[in-house]
Each structure stands twice: as C-alpha cells, then as structure tokens.
C-alpha cells in the first residue's frame, strides 16, 4: 500500500500509482498526487529550518539527489527602481544542471528507480532532457532523450555528456513529443514525461517551500514563464499545502507568462496548429500543454493574470538583466521579466508590491551568435 494515490484532475477518479499511468483511463485528464496522510513524517522532505514537504517516496533514503534546490533569492535593485515595485529573483540556474527542472527530475527519477525501471524515454526543449540525463545516470537508468534539432548546442552536448541516448527531431517541440510517444509504443518502454508524470510537479513544490523561508513578508505576486506549467503548478501546490496546514494566510497571485508566438494559455483560445510556433524562448514553445486547464484554474484561483510577450521584449530583458543586475539568464527566463513589465504597465501589479520571479535557466546554455 502506498501512502498516496493518483487522482484525475478532471473527473477525480483515483488510481493506484504505477509508471504507465500518465493519464486518466476514463477521460484522458492529467493526473496529480493525492496524499492519504499529509502529516506522515517518514514520507516528507526537509525544506528549511522548520518546514517539511509531503513527498511520494517512503522515506528520504529513496530520494536521489544532486543537491538541487536551496537556490539564492536576490533583490533586483535597479529594475525594482525602474518599475516602481520590489523585485526578488530566485536564481534557479544555480541548480546542478543549470535549471529549475532538477527539482522535478529528482523526485521523478527517485520514484522511477523505486519502481525498478531500468530504461526510460523523455522529450524536452533541452533543459528537462539534460536534467533527466544527469539524474538517470546517477540512478543507473538508461535514458532516451528526444529534443528538437533546433535546440541550442550547449543543451544537446549536455544531454550527451551524461551518456543518455539523444534523438533529435527536425520539427517543433510538439512534434518532438509525438516522436517520443511513437518510440515508447514501438519499443514498449516507460515514458518518463516530465509534462505528464505527477511526480515531476511534486518535485517542483520545493521551490514554493523554500520561498516560505526566503521571503518575509511573503511576495504579493509570483511571475513565472509557462510552457507546460510544471513549476507554476508546483508552486501553487506548495502554497495550497501550506495554506491547508494554516502556515500562510495571504495567497500570492500567480501570473503566467508566455511568448506571443506560442501562447495557448495566455490567448485562452484553442491552439491553431497553423500559427507560428517558434519563439526565441524555446523552453515555453509548447502549443498543446496537457496541463493547460490546471494552469488556467490556478490563474483564476490565485487572482493572477496571463500575458504574452513579444520576441523583441524577451531579447531586451535578457540583456537588461545582465547589464543592470549581473544576472545572465536564458531567453525563456527573460520572458518572465518582459511579462512583469507588461503587468506593471497594465496595473495588474500595483506600485510598491512585492514580486518574486524564478530565473529558471542559465544564459550559458544559450547558443549565441558571436558578433
Ligand atoms: C528555462 C526554462 N524556463 C521555463 C520553462 C517552462 O517550464 P514548464 O514547461 O514546466 O512550464 C522551461 C521548460 O523547458 C525552461 O527550460
Ligand atoms: Zn478522468
């Protein structure tokens, strides 16, 4: 008997956890983890001096870690002054493979290892693939990583150095997902999709738990770049868990930022496949995010806003952050700051409010023209 079960986010059907169940067998809805006993201390992860986080592993000894998390939170003084708000950045590129994905991967690979699985398939825009490759090699699991051939070469090289098998796909991010799904079927392998696996979001919750230790008072707003929404949803789950335990009362607004070229969530319309589906923000170039309805619900429940940003504004903010704050991030991460500027201009975020922005990935992984 596990201390948790899978629950469908749409029809609320329950399932006994296993590695092959990634969607509801009745309605195809996405799945989340529901704990039977939230206070079971043996199955919890320490997240700071007093906080522990429920996790879907029998004990800490099953947790496969590379020291992810515990990333610094820094004040962004100059851009705070420019926008008239108080901005804090949590530097997620300081995770072991250079992005926030390590939080989700650590939990997902731990669960997969515990199930005795020795070979997995994943698709990614680069960061999740690199992260999965690293944790899989640590766990002794063979990994096939599918990534678009347009992925920046530093990310592709990173995937390869960890000794996983890289499959590049000449197509969009969504076509890469379809190629991985085909490969899973043809070879009867386990699909360790970070976008569908309920374990991945359980891992990204650590971001939210750390936030309780890092920031006092708590931020009024959190602005997140969203492709599939794994960080966005993990932050929200950590907030609801803390609220249900009575630890916090004020709920921050969660704002979702997407690129104007690929904005199935922010545009709130069914995704038209004939639309442009490339953006410099490759990490959020997801035309059909399976957890779209979950993200929309969180925006509504938290009182947040979703917005889209132009290619020019993403590039402008990448340089601005490096020039003014000494923070060199990925274009995907810069999109959140471009979105923040929009939200201030539209008065969705008021003067003097406190804002936390995850800097989700490292500029060092970007393939830059050298001029
Ligand atoms: C640097 C970076 N930021 C943000 C995201 C978006 O994460 P998610 O798809 O879980 O919303 C990604 C995803 O690849 C990423 O690589
Ligand atoms: Zn269902």
Q: Which ligand is nearest to the CA of 280?
A: 1
pLDDT of residue 369: 57
Kindly report, residue by residue over 300-349, the tens digit of the pLDDT. 999 999 999 999 999 999 999 999 999 999 999 999 999 999 999 999 99
Q: What's residue 139's pLDDT?
A: 98
Atom of ligand 1 nearest to the CA of 229: 11
**Residue 271: which pLDDT band, with cuts at 50, 70 and 90?**
low
Task: Compute the distance from residue 309 Cα to the ligand 1 centre, in Å.
Answer: 15
User: Who wins on pLDDT, 51 or 63?
Assistant: 63
**Residues near 166 by Cβ (< 8 Å), separated by ≥ 6?**
129, 145, 147, 156, 159, 160
**Where does ligand 1 bind, in terms of residues with CB under 6 Å?**
99, 125, 127-128, 225-232, 283-284, 330, 332-333, 360-361
**Domain-embedded: residue 277:** yes
Residue 365's φ and ψ, nearest 5 degrees, are -90, 0
Instruction: Assign 269 a pLDDT band (cuts: 50, 70, 90).
Output: confident
Q: Report yes or no on 146 lying in a domain.
A: no
Q: How far is the CA of 16 from the centre of ligand 2 (A)?
A: 14
The C-alpha atoms of residue 135 and residue 104 are separated, in whole angstroms, by 11
Q: Is 103 among the domain residues?
A: no
Order of all β-strands in the sheet with 142-148 = 165-169, 142-148, 119-123, 190-191
What is the 283 CA–ligand 2 centroid distance (Å)? 28
| Higher pLDDT pick, 49 / 132 | 132
In a domain, 289, yes or no: yes
Is residue 230 included in any domain, yes or no? yes
Vertex 23, ends 44 and 176: CA angle to 5°? 100
Write down how long the chain is.
371
Average pLDDT over residues 132-139: 98
- Whole-number Å distance between alpha carbons of 62 and 249: 33
Count up the domains in the chain and report the number.
1
Query: From the CA of 333, which ligand is nearest?
Result: 1
Q: Would the pLDDT of 158 be above 70?
A: yes
Measured from the CA of 329, which atom of ligand 1 is nearest? 1
**Of the candidates 202, 207, 204, the residue with the CA atom closest to the CA atom of residue 356:** 207
pLDDT for residue 368 is more than 80: no
pLDDT score for 1:
56
Q: Which atom of ligand 1 has the smallest separation from the CA of 230?
A: 10
- Answer yes or no: is 224 within a domain: yes
Q: What is the pLDDT of residue 279?
A: 92
Burial class (CB in 10 A: 0-12, 13-18, 19+), 346: exposed
| Position 213 in a domain | yes
User: What is 316-336 written as a DSSP string?
Assistant: HHHHHHHHHH---B-HHHHHH
How far is it, in rounded angstroms, from Cα 171 to Cα 252? 37
Which pairing describes strands 142-148 and 119-123: parallel, antiparallel, or unpaired? parallel
Q: Pick the atom of ligand 1 nearest to 226's CA.
A: 11
Phi, psi at 256, each rounded to 5°: -110, 125
Read off φ and ψ for residue 222, nearest 5 degrees. Answer: -130, 130
Q: Which ligand approaches the C-alpha of residue 97 most closely?
A: 1
- Between CA 65 and CA 12 the distance in angstroms is 31
Domain with residue 360: its CATH number is 3.40.50.1100
Q: Which domain holds residue 297?
A: 73-98+201-365
Neighbours of 86 (CB within 10 A): 17
Contact 205, 238 (CB under 8 A): yes
- Using CA atoms, how far apart are residues 277 and 33, in angstroms rounded to an integer? 31
Q: How remote is the CA of residue 283 from the centroid of ligand 1, in Å?
A: 5
């Amino acid at each position: 008997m596990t201390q948790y079960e899978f629950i469908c986010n749409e029809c609320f059907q329950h399932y006994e956890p296993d590695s092959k169940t990634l969607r509801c067998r009745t309605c195809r809805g996405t799945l989340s983890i529901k704990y039977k006993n939230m206070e079971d201390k043996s199955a919890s992860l320490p997240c700071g001096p007093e906080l522990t986080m429920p996790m879907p592993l029998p004990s800490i000894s099953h947790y496969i870690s590379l020291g992810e998390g515990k990333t610094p939170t820094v004040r962004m003084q100059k851009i705070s002054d420019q926008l008239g708000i108080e901005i804090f950045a949590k530097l997620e590129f300081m995770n072991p493979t250079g992005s926030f994905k390590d939080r989700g991967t650590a939990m997902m690979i731990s669960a997969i290892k515990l199930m005795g699985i020795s070979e997995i398939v994943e698709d990614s825009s680069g960061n999740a693939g690199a992260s999965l490759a690293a944790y899989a090699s640590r766990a002794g699991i063979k990994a096939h990583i599918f990534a678009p051939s347009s992925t920046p070469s530093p990310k592709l090289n990173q995937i390869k150095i960890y000794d996983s098998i890289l499959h590049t796909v000449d197509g969009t991010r969504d076509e890469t997902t379809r190629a991985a799904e085909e490969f899973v079927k043809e070879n009867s392998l386990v699909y360790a999709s970070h976008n569908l696996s309920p374990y991945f979001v359980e891992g990204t919750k650590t971001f939210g738990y750390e936030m309780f230790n890092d920031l006092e008072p708590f931020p009024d707003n959190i602005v997140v770049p969203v492709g599939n929404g794994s960080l966005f949803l993990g932050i929200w789950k950590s907030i609801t868990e803390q609220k249900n335990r009575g630890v916090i009362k004020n709920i921050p607004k969660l704002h979702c930022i997407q690129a104007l070229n690929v904005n199935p969530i922010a545009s709130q319309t069914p995704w038209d496949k004939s639309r442009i589906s490339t953006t410099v923000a490759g990490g959020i170039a997801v035309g059909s995010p399976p957890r779209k309805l979950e993200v929309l619900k969180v925006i509504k429940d938290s009182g947040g806003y979703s917005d889209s940003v132009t290619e020019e504004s993403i590039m402008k903010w990448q340089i601005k952050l490096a020039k003014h704050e000494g923070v060199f991030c990925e274009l995907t991460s810069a999109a959140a700051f471009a979105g923040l500027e929009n939200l201030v201009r539209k008065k969705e975020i008021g003067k003097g409010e406190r804002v936390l922005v995850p800097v989700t990935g490292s500029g060092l992984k970007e393939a830059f023209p050298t001029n």
